[in-house]
Chains A and B, each alone.
Chain A
Amino acid sequence: MSDLDRAIEQLRACRLIPESQVRELCYKARELLIEEGNVVSVDAPVTICGDIHGQFHDLMELFRVGGDVPDTNYLFMGDFVDRGFYSLESFLLLLCLKVRYPDRITLIRGNHESRQITTVYGFYDECIRKYGSANVWRYCCEVFDYLALGAIVLGASSELEPTGSSMNDTTQSTMPIDDGELETEVLNSHGEVTSTSYRPRFRPSSVASNDSRNISPPRDISAASGSTGTPTRTGVPGTGASADGNGSATTSRTGAVLCVHGGLSPLIDSVDKIRLIDRKQEVPHEGAMCDLLWSDPDEIEGWGLSPRGAGFLFGGDIVKQFNHLNGLSLVARAHQLVMEGYKEMFDGGIVTVWSAPNYCYRCGNVAAILELGEDTSNGGTIARSNGEYGRSNGVLGEGNTVVSPGRRYRVFEAAAQDTRGMPAKKPVADYFL
């Protein structure tokens, strides 16, 4: 067993590795990450995860529900640290897995992967508490600077295989239910289907009769803990609008999926623009890099000011335009607590995935991960041009709307109490004052 495997074992047991090992790990991770583009290309199948926030036991639960590394490919959209009490264990485990299985796991940067934010929201304190000095924090922050800013998922299947089959079985069953392609499916942590939606097959501009269009999660958002924040949207907008009118395209392609932590930026009109950022720096307070990590979608038109003090709010029109221009079918992002774990907005143009159940140990929310299956229809070859808009001045689409990928959400709750003990911070060992 290599040192790395041993470290993984140890971290899985929620025990920290020595400082010297952290240093080495961070060094290796840096070597790997420097080779990644600002937007990493990831092939389906992949499981997309949102914020973790140091909730180590819930991360373990996530792996239980979603399958273990390296059996399942994972894409984590940042915010590994802060808030929870096990930021170090969580981040170091993910980093170990990254170094051990570089092709199986992708980590991108969240707004909390920043020196300034971690000094306010807990990670810095945790490092001091657990290692006695800020050294480990420095090593980690150095790694943060190297993390990619986004990822683009290619080759996702437009329809899901009906569930029942094992969760990581990627062989595409050939004939789904007759009257439609299975587009979205929501499963609970026991793998039981709780809701589905279908998209009409080969029927131009028709709306499937048995389409349970609204896959908005069962719980009513506005009821949850007296939410007053975002304007109450009764019934989250239905998903799968991509079905409208594009069913006719027999050669329908599944568009690429852009994954970023926060959202879009007014300075970024194409995915290629992201590639022109020198990302090795602390997250700035403004500009494209900042927006990608800080922005939020909102029910507005165009761009709006963000109450967070960084990034922007952006509306459905912006998402639609951006997706169209870049041949994307979906933007997956994290960054905002959603009580049901995931929330699709703007006719399925963007989805928020949130993977920290019972956030801050008290929000009472459930978490979710998003699985995208592999498109095996054309022999596993992937339409590489997706998301590569502009690289060779080629413009995609020719009016050909892309089809959104089949989306399987696995919803899960906080890890059972008995598996994790009482979460608490580590007390100081000795004191003088």
Chain B
Amino acid sequence: MALDLQPPDGRKRVKVYELRDNDWFDRGTGFCTGQMVGEEHRIFVESEDQPNRVLLETRITKDDGYQKQQGFCPTISGFGQTLIVWTEQNGTDMALSFQEAEGCAVIWEFVNSVQQHLNLNAADDALSDDLESYQTIALPPPELRNLPEIEQIVRAASMTQAGRDALSKFIIRDEYIGKLVPLVETAEDLESLADLHRLCNIMKSLILLNDNTIIETVVADQAILGVVGALEYDPEFPTHKANHRQYLADQSRYKEVVPIKDPIIRRKIRSTWRLQYLKDVVLARILDDPTFSVLNSLIFFNQMEIVNHIQTNAPFLRELFHLFDGRNTDIRRKDDAVQFLHQCAAIAKNLQAPSRAQLFANFIGHGLFAVIAFAVKHPNPAMRTTGIDILVALLDHDPVMMRGYMLKAVNEKKTPLTDTLIDLLHTETDLGVKNQLADAIKILLDPQIPLQDPLARAGPDYFKVRSANLLNDAFVQQHFDDSSKRLFQPLKHLANRASLNDLTFQEVTLYSHLVDILTFFVRQHLFRTRNAIHSESLAPRVAQLLTAHQKPLKLVALKFFRTLISLQDTFYQALMTHNNTFGLILDIVYETMPRDNLLNSACLELFEFIKRENVKPFILHVVEKYREKLENITYVDTFQNLILRYEQMQGYGAEAEPLFSNEDDSTPRRMPLNGQRWQGVKEMDAAEEDYFGTSDDEDDWHQDNRAAIAASTSNGSTPADKPLVDYPDDDDEDEDAMDTKPEALSTQPLQAESTTAVDAPGETGSEAGSTSSSPAQTPPPERLAEKRRREEEDEDELMKLAAGPKRRSSTSSNSGAGFLNRKKSLSIGPIGTGEKGTGILGGTAPKRIAINLSPTTKSPVSESDKSTTDAPGETNENDKPDDSQGDGGG
């Protein structure tokens, strides 16, 4: 505990608000720190402009109702939690609006642990503590005839903070709840509904006093049934009576696979369950945010203790995992054990990274993988789902660790988990399970492993696994290729199919998943995936799927090619221009043409992208080869404009200046890309000639392609090096920053991505404006201008880093549901919540370029830090954190 109480490192950028006359007054912007002054813990905000001016200094007390909010207003949805709101001792409502959700989380954790600490000590000095500064409240003796008066006093006292404090003290000191409980039964015996309604109101108010001690009393064995008994008679629902007691009294709901003997832990488990029931059922409708977070934090701390107990209880773990020993034939108990572990994994998601890492490492050490293997092969689909859920929890927690284990297995010539999963994916008939399998495989095979990890997630096994992970690159590539081969086998077999008219439902789902995975690989690792696509000639197979009858399948195939296009990579460009891919896509346009539907829009978007980004090889290819087809599509001007672009190219020569500068503005990866792309275009021109000289054979593309690869080699880096600079370093930077300087570094690199992504479409607007009859919509000026400025700074940085082409966040869409959060680039400020956020960044983070470069990047970053203030999702003047705000929602 003492350790936890160390104030957090670093300064978090915040705005300080004070509620004055029902309006949030902006006290200013500054940097927030947690500090320890003597015995007191304080939150301290120093002005940004005048470093010596203190905007806020407040002592953390045990009963200020601190709440963390989803930014802005509780009834407005937004991204991320960036607000901490509380009431000062003097009754002023205050709010801290953090620039980043993460900074918010750090301070929140600090506040929470301080309060927890204070509460532990509170037992001793609660009574002596400055009693005289509050009014004192005493309730009349708990008797039925006094209920009206009690209800009235409680209600009145709840109105003010001082009243609440005084009332809480009285309730605790007098053990009043315990005295109220017997009244419920008396009132029931007398069938006095009025009294029961009053008791219900009193109980509600007492719980909503939002005091840890009171809530803990409520869920204790002696009180719980009485309390929920009273709450069964809600005066708002006079004709109803809930049956909370029946539910909570049912002992059989608690299952034990292996008995937990420690009585304290057993009690914790019971009260946690009750707290959850209170939160979700009894109080669900009436919970206010402070009470909600008090309940949540009580649950959280209980769970932490329970989990800690479990993992330090070696005999328990041995017995648990021993159930999966081959000799045990008690299937039922095995199933329960899987469920038990599943629940542990679910709880672990809420824990802090280090404890989670420890727990998982512990489980793995005892044989968790065997459990997963047992579950995923279970005849019951629900158990398979559960098994994969556990696996997914591990993957979400630390994909690096998981891949490390997997590669270790390969190295030791054991069947790796991936092979098992791939085989299951091919045969699985339950759609839900299949979906999960596909997601799991995506992450496991993801060959681009972030090698520099935040130490935050370092578990005991960390370095051991790390070394396993450092298997040489060739080995990783080899494994990826082998697995891909296995995985995409069914796709490859499509080659032998004359027609796709007789696809079964199962086949359609399988192909959808496979193409989706392939798309993911290509987007994440265009270079590594080359081998797989090349050697298995997968692209023509995907193209084949464009002709399937099933429209969702067509869409998935289309998405694959759309992704290839957005990569702007000569290898993949060649794939598309040397098959009849565009012909097939145009066929879809023709098929759907007069109608306006999803497929049609997806096709249009693809061609719009080519036009907008001016992807020359495609414009050349499409117009030269399909000109007639294009000319016949007149219901939108996209295709005419493509032809126009083509003609401009021909007219002004390939290096036409206007096109070039246009590209500068609209493409995010200007520096690295120009070099590469122009190179590529020249090469492609050669390839085109080649191509037109030869037949349309689908398989001869790779010859040209070798040339293309050679070309990129001459560009200064070898293909083998490419993966290293494959990605924007942003994510790495960010990860690193997590530990050291979250505030300075973490948004900035992300901004770089959002900048470019926003800018590109922005360009479209004005571009379109010039071609059509000028709709002259004003673009949001500050933001774009702001972004542009920042983009320039980013570019400098990029040049220094000499990074390769950036992955585009704007085109990345993710169907991998479970991993979605992680895979999304966090382009707008605070997205994702709490712990999960950490995981998010860990996931996509690619290899970093070179550690020693980072110092050079730091100065521009912190310099430009100021400019991020106005970005969406971050603190800004419009931020009025206000509970009672009536306007705003959904």
Contact = CB atoms under 8 A, between A and B. Distances in A.
Interface of A: 19, 23, 30-31, 33-39, 50-51, 53, 79, 82, 85, 110-112, 115-117, 119-121, 132-135, 137-139, 141, 145-146, 221, 224-230, 261, 266-267, 269-270, 272-273, 275-282, 284-288, 296, 302-310, 312-313, 318, 321-322, 325, 334-339, 354, 356, 359-363, 365, 390-393, 395, 417-418, 421-433
Which 9 pairs, one residue from A and one from B, show the smallest C-beta to C-beta distance?
A: A337-B889, A309-B873, A135-B432, A227-B886, A303-B780, A37-B596, A281-B813, A269-B775, A229-B885
Given A35-B598, A38-B601, A133-B385, 16 more contacts: A50-B890, A135-B433, A227-B886, A261-B890, A269-B777, A303-B778, A303-B780, A303-B781, A304-B780, A305-B783, A308-B873, A309-B828, A318-B777, A418-B237, A418-B240, A432-B339
Contacts of B277: 427
A116 B826 CA distance: 12
A53 B813 contact: no
B555 A23 contact: no
Interface in B614-646: 635-638
B432 A133 contact: yes
B631 to A, nearest CB: 16
Contacts of A431: 253-255, 269, 273, 343
28 contacts: A34-B599, A37-B595, A39-B596, A112-B890, A116-B831, A135-B435, A227-B884, A267-B761, A267-B762, A267-B764, A278-B562, A302-B778, A302-B780, A305-B780, A305-B876, A309-B831, A335-B890, A337-B887, A354-B889, A356-B889, A359-B889, A391-B635, A422-B237, A424-B282, A427-B276, A427-B281, A432-B343, A433-B303
B75 interface: yes
A137 B436 CA distance: 12
B552 interface: yes
Nearest to B82: A309
Nearest to A264: B777
Contacts of A30: 552
A85 B386 CA distance: 24
A430 B343 CA distance: 11
A391 B636 contact: yes
B284 A230 contact: no
A35 B886 contact: no
Contacts of A37: 595-598, 600-601
Interface string B722-735: 00000000000000
Contacts of A111: 77, 890
A266 B757 CA distance: 14
B888 A336 contact: yes
Given A310-B873, A421-B240, A276 B758 contact: no
Interface in B146-184: none
A284 B831 CA distance: 12
Contacts of A117: 77
B779 A303 contact: yes
Interface string B861-890: 000000000101110101110101111111
B820 A116 contact: yes
A433 B775 contact: no
B886 A225 contact: yes
B120 interface: no
B78 A309 contact: yes
Contacts of A302: 778, 780-781
Interface stretch (B492-500, B604-612, B672-680): B604-612
Contacts of B888: 229-230, 296, 336-337
B831 A35 contact: no
A284 B761 CA distance: 13
Contacts of B599: 34
Given A275-B601, A309-B829, A309-B872, A228 B884 contact: yes
B762 A425 contact: no
A226 B598 contact: no
Interface in B753-803: 754, 757-758, 761-762, 764-765, 768-769, 772-773, 775-783
Contact of B769 (A115, A269, A365): A269
B115 interface: no
Interface stretch (B65-73, B135-143, B441-449): B65-73
A227 B887 contact: yes
A236 to B, nearest CB: 11
Nearest to B871: A305
B285 A361 contact: yes
Contacts, number: 337
B814 interface: yes
Nearest to A363: B75
A147 to B, nearest CB: 10
A307 B72 contact: yes
Contacts of A137: 817
Contacts of B776: 321
Nearest to B247: A427
B884 A226 contact: yes
B253 A424 contact: no
B598 A280 contact: yes
Contacts of B605: 276-278
Contact of A275 (B276, B596, B817): B596
B592 to A, nearest CB: 9
B151 to A, nearest CB: 20
Given A53-B890, A115-B817, A269-B768, A287 B758 contact: yes
Nearest to A391: B635
A425 B887 contact: no
A282 B813 contact: yes
Nearest to A273: B768
A279 B601 contact: yes
B568 interface: no
A432 B340 contact: yes
Contacts of B234: 422
Contacts of A139: 431-432
B818 A284 contact: no
Contact of A308 (B78, B239, B272, B637): B78
A318 B886 CA distance: 25
A304 B781 CA distance: 9
Nearest to A137: B817
Given A37-B601, A38-B598, A228-B882, A221 B887 contact: yes
Nearest to A298: B878
Given A117-B77, A303-B779, A359-B75, A228 B890 contact: no
A224 B886 contact: yes
A360 B75 contact: yes
Interface string B81-106: 00000000000000000000000000
B458 interface: no
A422 B596 CA distance: 44
A266 B775 contact: no
Contact of A221 (B385, B432, B886): B886
B833 A120 contact: yes
